[in-house]
Amino acid sequence: MWVKELVLSFLATLFFGVLFKVPRKAIVVAALIGGLGYVAYRLILPASSITAFFTGAFVIALLSEWAARLIKCPVPLFMMTAVIPLVPGWGLYQTMLYAVQSDMNAALLAGTNTMMGLAAIALAIALVSMGFRLLRPAKHKEMTIHEQSEPNLTSGSESATKG
């Protein structure tokens, strides 16, 4: 069963990659990341849907960061394509259906669960991205605001003593 879901989510990600014009050297990797992220989501789903969304997005974000460095392409190229299978479209549909049917309690419940799933996806992506930014060594030392605003006193003092 997991092989079927891996293949279907791989294909969905692949076709969205074509739609998003992902370069050929990255499209298969992005599709594989999407498939693996969806399988991770489905493995955790019986326990908790919010945890499943977080886990799937965490796997996608982690693999996207690694793939971006390996293939030398921007991280969003992989992440935006690979996260497509995780988007809670069914929850959004249910929310709208209940709202149109005037069942506001069910719409509120479905909408809240959907938003919590979206928040879990965003949190997982943010945590992985932040972790990679903190662990990556800085290539260039950036000047702080204090260093930028300090006047160069040595050249002014030299001209004052000469004159």
Q: Give the other-Cβ count within 10 Å of 94's Cβ.
A: 18
Q: What integer pLDDT is reported at residue 162 of this predicted model? A: 52
Our count of domains for the chain comes to 1
Parent domain of 49: 2-136
Q: What integer pLDDT is reported at residue 109 of this predicted model? A: 95
Within-domain flag for 160: no
Within-domain flag for 71: yes
In three-state secondary structure terms, 78 is: helix
Within-domain flag for 158: no
Within-domain flag for 143: no
Q: What is the pLDDT of residues 14-52, one digit of tens each?
A: 999 999 899 999 999 999 999 999 999 999 999 999 999
Q: What integer pLDDT is reported at residue 144 of this predicted model? A: 52
pTM of the model: 0.79
Within-domain flag for 161: no
Q: What integer pLDDT is reported at residue 79 of this predicted model? A: 92
Within-domain flag for 93: yes
Within-domain flag for 156: no
Q: What integer pLDDT is reported at residue 2 of this predicted model? A: 79
- DSSP code per residue over 95-154: HHHHHHTT-HHHHHHHHHHHHHHHHHHHHHHHHHHHHHHHHSPPSSPPPPHHHHH---HH
Q: What integer pLDDT is reported at residue 138 of this predicted model? A: 58
Q: What integer pLDDT is reported at residue 149 of this predicted model? A: 54
Q: What is the pLDDT of residues 64-94, one digit of tens each?
A: 999 999 999 999 999 999 999 999 899 999 9
Q: What integer pLDDT is reported at residue 152 of this predicted model? A: 56
Q: What is the pLDDT of residues 139-161, one digit of tens each?
A: 555 545 555 555 555 555 555 55
Within-domain flag for 86: yes
Q: What integer pLDDT is reported at residue 5 of this predicted model? A: 87
What's the whole-number mean pLDDT along residues 109-113? 95
